[in-house]
Amino acid sequence: MRAPTETPDVAGAVDAILGAQTAALSQTTPLSMSTVISQLRERTGTTRSDADLEGLIAKKAAVLDVHLSRNG
């Protein structure tokens, strides 16, 4: 029997990335979705699809009132 692998806290990492965005900058310079996905993959090593991550990020951004650009 294999030991369970530890799942990274992807949702928590999204909160941290978006929280840093709101603390560091005014909303005049929105992060791009691709930048957030790249940072998320670096922090967590997740293999979830871009579409899945975009959905999670969009929901979290809406709750936190963080504006993201779709461009690169």
Domain ranges of the chain: 11-16+30-69
| Percent with pLDDT over 70 in the chain | 76
The answer to whether 38 and 65 are in contact (CB under 8 A) is no
Q: How many CA atoms lie within 13 A of 23 on its CB side?
A: 6
Specify the amino acid at residue 49. Answer: S
Instruction: Locate the DSSP E strands across 1-72.
Output: 31-32, 68-69
Q: Model confidence at 67, in pLDDT bands (50, 70, 90)?
A: confident
pLDDT tens digits, one per residue of 21-47: 766 655 567 789 999 999 999 999 999
The Cα 28–Cα 1 span in angstroms is 52
